[in-house]
Structure 1
Amino acid sequence: MARSPALTGILFAIGGTLIFSINDVSIKFLSDGYALHQVILIRAFVAMAFILTVIGVSERGFSQIATSRPVTHLARVLIVMVSNVTFFVGLAAMPLADAVAVAYVSPIVVTLLSIVFLQEKVGPRRWAAVIVGMLGVIVMLRPGAGVIQPAALLVLISAVLYASGNLLARHMGGTESAMTLSFYVQAGFIVVSLCMGLWVGDGHLATESELWAFLFRPWIWPPMADWPVFLATGLSVGIGGLMVTQAYRTIEAGLIAPFEYVGMPLAILWGLVVFGTFPDAVSWVGIALICGSGLYVIWRETVRKRETDAA
């Protein structure tokens, strides 16, 4: 029996998200000793090697790199680049599970943006789920502690940009393959990271601030013990990126986005096993609100599909 396109897209989204979790934990692990742009550069070279290998053995070959939409690709590359930088700078200063929880506002933002840019229909119950999810984000920002966490705000900005990049992938899906979209993103990472290395790779803008140290510390040559971690982050973003991009370019954004929440349990597990951190009571409230709203969206989408099919 042929698998439905919706199910295939959902499986790609789930698989890509699970693989992406390796990227998150790897970069947080590397954040104590390396500059972010150096990590992204090595990661992009590994991911690009994987993507070029897949393109080379695919039926269309390297002809699929050609595009008639260079400006749109450039816009998406810039969005994804800033999304990555803001997320990983915030991640370096936050517990892994907390950062991932705030980032999971992204599927909620996808639902909102899909209404405006893709004219997708969202009913009142899904609107209620969006509001609950945003309340969860407010809890994670912890304004009652006297000051909103700057790191959490960076992750929130990243989530909005990530959602925008995924909607662009959906918009471009009619003419651009997942290979093409992933190729240009990794090419952009390489170019921007090299430029950053030439500008601040000597560490002259390095700061003692926990939030910005990851961005401006000097480049160093990684010891052999760290190369497997670099390899893991490159392969995870290459494979996971292809899978998530394929999901968003083929299936309705509002349907795919909530399935990215499967990464939350893994983030908690990685945080406990690798970093010895575990969400506190306030974080659990925020996680419950954000993930609960996503699960509700999934349930409502299932009901809506059944009603549509029955009609």
Structure 2
Amino acid sequence: MAATDQFTAPISVAGYASHPVAGILWLLLATTLFPIQDVIIKSLSGEFAVHQIIFWRGIFALPLVAAIAWFEGSLWPLKLGSIPLQLLRAASMFGFFLGYYMALATIGMAETAAITFSTPIFVTMMAPLFLSERVGLYRWGAVATGLIGVLVIVQPGAAVFEPAAILALLAAISYAISIICTRRLGNRSNGGMMTLFAVIFFIVMGGALGLAFSGVEAGSPHPSIAFLYRDWATPTTRDWLLLLALGGISGLGFFALSQAYRLAEASVVTPFEYTYLPWSVLWGYVVFGALPGVATWIGLTLIVGAGLMIVFRESLRNGRAGRGKRSSLLRQR
């Protein structure tokens, strides 16, 4: 999920609103790249531990993310804001990746992506409590619609229920917590520094989990559990290239998202983030031979509809407040 990638802290687009087509094209590049990342991770999930993939993804992404932060002027002066909030944000992002990747090891790309795209719904639910934001009936209606969509996909209690779907749902909630933290940080920090802080946190936590689970084999036949408890493996040349590609896609995807929201009003480009989902369906079919079932299509439609309702309502609210600001669902993915 990315992710980040997300309804994060407002990003000013003053001076860039005259380039909507360029912003949309950068956004479409990001939504084209990130599903390829999912393909690579799902392909590696049968051989490597999830924390090993997060670790190496962070290592290879770090130089590019640092370069982007430097280019954006985020490295100096340091703008960390609240360190506890930065840590909570990074930890919830790590939880998002852990849950998302573990779900991806078991269920289809389209199902995993659809469930995690419910993040705006959980952000809306948390906003009154943690951000003192007023949520009207219109957005509560969108929340109810989106939750119905999630239930349609997850199907708790049904014979076809897959527990890994709960991991995707927990990933969406973790992502929502990271977004709340980002909003609380506000202008005390910036996108480049928050991303760099998070990537370093991922490297540290990926390595720590690798040490904690070293030599521990769960012996579980469930792909998600095996993905978590598997010992670290020695990558082949092909694996190194795939891990390097993960880092490159992550860094380039973040840059593309940053450019999209710099060059155009967020209300213009945010709806195009949902083009991520058709790519997930396509790659899931081409690479893994999996197509979503009827329930997934119905749930996906409800979730996307609810997300767009929230985006539309908040863009109106921001417009009335005189703020041409918005942020990305995929940011930091």
TM-score, normalised with respect to structure 1: 0.84
Q: Among 142, 157, 168, which residue is 2:155 paired with?
A: 142
Answer yes or no: is 1:238 the counterpart of 2:258.
Answer: no
Distance 1:306 1:53, change over 3 A: closer
Report matched runs for 1:1-311 at 5 Å: 2-4=15-17, 16-56=30-70, 58=71, 60=73, 62-65=75-78, 67-146=80-159, 148-241=161-254, 260-301=273-314
Between 229-238 and 272-281, report the one with greater CA deviation: 229-238
Q: Please list every run of 5 or more consecutive structure 1 residues that lacks an aligned counterpart in the other structure.
A: none
For residue 297 of structure 1, report the CA deviation from its aligned partner: 3.3
Which amino acid letter does the alignment assign opposite residue 127 of structure 1? W
Q: Secondary structure at the match of 2:107?
A: coil
Contact 2:17–2:265 at 8 Å: present in 1 too? no
Between 38-47 and 201-210, report the one with greater CA deviation: 201-210
1:23-51 C-alpha deviation (Å, 9 max, x unpaired): 22221121111111111111000111211
Q: Secondary structure at the match of 1:23?
A: helix
Contact 2:69–2:75 at 8 Å: present in 1 too? yes
Between 224-233 and 273-282, report the one with greater CA deviation: 224-233
For residue 202 of structure 1, report the CA deviation from its aligned partner: 3.0
Distance 1:130 1:248, change over 3 A: farther
Contact 1:207–1:213 at 8 Å: present in 2 too? yes
CA distance in 1, matches of 2:265, 2:122: 14
CA distance in 2, matches of 1:252, 1:3: 8
Which amino acid letter does the alignment assign opposite residue 156 of structure 2? P
For residue 265 of structure 1, report the CA deviation from its aligned partner: 1.1
Q: Please list every run of 5 or more consecutive structure 2 residues that lacks an aligned counterpart in the other structure.
A: 1-13, 323-333
1:103-160 C-alpha deviation (Å, 9 max, x unpaired): 1111211222233333444432222121111001001111352374211111101101
For residue 200 of structure 1, report the CA deviation from its aligned partner: 1.6
Between 137-146 and 81-90, report the one with greater CA deviation: 137-146
Between 257-266 and 37-46, report the one with greater CA deviation: 257-266
Distance 1:72 1:300, change over 3 A: closer
What residue number does 2:326 align with?
Answer: none
Q: Per residue, is there more helix in 1 or in 2? A: 1
Which amino acid letter does the alignment assign opposite residue 42 of structure 1? W
> Does 1 or 2 have the higher relative contact order (CA < 8 Å, sep 6+)?
2
Q: Secondary structure at the match of 1:34?
A: coil
CA distance in 2, matches of 1:297, 1:66: 30
Q: Secondary structure at the match of 2:76?
A: helix
TM-score, normalised with respect to structure 2: 0.79
CA distance in 1, matches of 2:171, 2:259: 21
Which amino acid letter does the alignment assign opposite residue 113 of structure 1? M
Between 61-70 and 24-33, report the one with greater CA deviation: 61-70
Which amino acid letter does the alignment assign opposite residue 36 of structure 1? V
Contact 2:115–2:169 at 8 Å: present in 1 too? yes
CA distance in 2, matches of 1:78, 1:286: 29
